[in-house]
Structure 1
Amino acid sequence: MWELFSYGVISLWLEMAGIETIGKNTIAILKWQAGLPQLISPENSDEILTLEVDEYLEGLKTKGLLTADAQGIWIQSELISLHSHEGTIPIPGASLTKIATSLAALETWGPQHQFETLISTTGPITNGILRGDLVINGGSDPYFVWEEAIALGNTIEKLGINQVTGNLVIVGNFWMNERYNHVVAGQFLQEGINSATWSRNVRSIYNRMPPGTPMPKVAIAGSVISQKSVSQKIPIIRHKSLPLVYILKTMNAESKNNLAERLAKNLGGPKVVQRKAAWSAGVPEGEIQLINGSGLGVENQISPRAATAMLVAIQQRLQTSEWVIADLFPVSGYDTGTLADQSRNIPQGAAVKTGTLNDVIALAGVFPTREQGLVWFTIVNRSPYWEETRAEQDKFLQELVNRWGVTMPPIGIIPKINGNRLGLGDSQRNDILLGN
Structure 2
Amino acid sequence: MQELLGFAVGHLLMNLWGRSPAPLQPVPLVAWQEAKIFQVPTEPDPVVEKIVADYLKQLASLGVSSAQQGVWIQSEWAYLGEHGANIPASAASLTKVATSLAALATWGTNHRFETLIYTVGPVKNGILQGDLIIQGGGDPLFVWEEAIALGNQLNQLGIRQVKGNLIILGRFSVNFQSNPQLSGELLQVGLNQRRWTPSIEQTYRTFPPKTPRPQVAIARQVKVENTLPTNAKLLMRHQSLTLAELLKKMNLYSNNAMAQMLADELGGASVVAKLAAQVAKLPPGEISLINGSGLGVENRISPRATVQMLMTIEQRLGDNPLEVKDLFPMAGRDKKGTAQLRNIPDGVAFKTGTLAQVSALAGVIPTQERGPVWFAIINYGNNVDRFRVEQDRLLQRLAQHWQLIPLESTVKTNPTVNLGDPKRNIPQQS
Query: Aligning the two structures, in what range does the TM-score lie when normalised by the shorter sequence?
Result: 0.7 to 0.9
Query: Residue 67 and residue 51 in structure 1: after superposition, are their counterparts in 2 closer, same or farther (change >3 A)?
Result: closer
Report sequence identity in percent: 48
Query: What's the TM-score, normalizing by structure 1?
Result: 0.86
What are structure 1's unaligned runs of at least 5 residues? 1-15, 17-36
- Residue 323 of structure 1 and its aligned partner are, at CA, apart by 1.5
- Residue 320 of structure 1 and its aligned partner are, at CA, apart by 0.8
Matches within 5 A, 1:86-101: 86-101=84-99
Q: Within 2, Cα distance between the matches of 1:119 and 1:127?
A: 20
What is the aligned counterpart of 2:118 among 111, 120, 136? 120
Matched residue type, 1:227: E
Q: Within 2, Cα distance between the matches of 1:97 and 1:237?
A: 35
SS at match of 1:308: helix
> Deviation per CA, 1:289-348, whole angstroms, max 9, x where unpaired?
11111111111110111000100110111111232111110111111334344x100010
**Cα RMSD over matched residues?**
2.0
- Residue 280 of structure 1 and its aligned partner are, at CA, apart by 1.1
Question: How many residues are aligned here?
Answer: 393
SS at match of 1:222: coil
Q: Confirm or deny: 8 A CA contact 2:59 2:65 kept in the other structure.
A: no
- Residue 245 of structure 1 and its aligned partner are, at CA, apart by 0.7
Q: Within 2, Cα distance between the matches of 1:303 and 1:319?
A: 25
SS at match of 2:285: helix
- Residue 138 of structure 1 and its aligned partner are, at CA, apart by 1.1
> Deviation per CA, 1:25-48, whole angstroms, max 9, x where unpaired?
xxxxxxxxxxxx999x9x832222
Q: Within 2, Cα distance between the matches of 1:84 and 1:196?
A: 59
The equivalent of 1:215 in structure 2 is: 213
SS at match of 2:67: coil
Q: Within 1, Cα distance between the matches of 2:382 and 2:420?
A: 39
Query: What's the TM-score, normalizing by structure 2?
Result: 0.88
Query: Residue 417 and residue 351 in structure 1: after superposition, are their counterparts in 2 closer, same or farther (change >3 A)?
Result: farther
Query: Residue 410 and residue 85 in structure 1: after superposition, are their counterparts in 2 closer, same or farther (change >3 A)?
Result: farther
- List 4+ stretches of structure 1 deviating above 6 A: none
Q: Confirm or deny: 8 A CA contact 2:333 2:411 kept in the other structure.
A: no
The equivalent of 1:315 in structure 2 is: 314
The equivalent of 1:259 in structure 2 is: 258
SS at match of 1:285: coil
Q: Within 2, Cα distance between the matches of 1:139 and 1:38?
A: 50
Matches within 5 A, 1:25-104: 44-64=43-63, 66=64, 69-104=67-102
Q: Within 2, Cα distance between the matches of 1:434 and 1:180?
A: 32
What are structure 2's unaligned runs of at least 5 residues? 1-31, 33-37
SS at match of 1:69: helix
Q: Within 2, Cα distance between the matches of 1:73 and 1:307?
A: 10
Matches within 5 A, 1:220-369: 220-229=218-227, 230-341=229-340, 343-369=341-367
The equivalent of 2:148 in structure 1 is: 150
- Residue 406 of structure 1 and its aligned partner are, at CA, apart by 3.0
> Deviation per CA, 1:372-428, whole angstroms, max 9, x where unpaired?
2211100111132222221111111011111111322596x645558xx63110010
Q: Within 2, Cα distance between the matches of 1:330 and 1:94?
A: 17
Q: Within 2, Cα distance between the matches of 1:428 and 1:384?
A: 49
Q: Confirm or deny: 8 A CA contact 1:252 1:329 kept in the other structure.
A: yes
Q: Confirm or deny: 8 A CA contact 1:329 1:353 kept in the other structure.
A: yes
> Deviation per CA, 1:40-88, whole angstroms, max 9, x where unpaired?
x9x8322222122111110111133x25621110001122111121111
The equivalent of 2:163 in structure 1 is: 165
The equivalent of 1:34 in structure 2 is: none
Q: Confirm or deny: 8 A CA contact 1:338 1:354 kept in the other structure.
A: no
- Residue 434 of structure 1 and its aligned partner are, at CA, apart by 4.2
What is the aligned counterpart of 2:387 among 361, 386, 389? 389
Q: Within 2, Cα distance between the matches of 1:78 and 1:358?
A: 33
Q: Within 1, Cα distance between the matches of 2:111 and 2:327?
A: 14
Matched residue type, 2:74: Q
Which of structures 1 and 2 has the bigger CA Rg?
Answer: 2
- Residue 357 of structure 1 and its aligned partner are, at CA, apart by 0.8
Query: Residue 288 and residue 59 in structure 1: after superposition, are their counterparts in 2 closer, same or farther (change >3 A)?
Result: same
Q: Confirm or deny: 8 A CA contact 1:326 1:415 kept in the other structure.
A: no
Q: Confirm or deny: 8 A CA contact 1:88 1:303 kept in the other structure.
A: yes
1:430 aligns with 2:425: yes
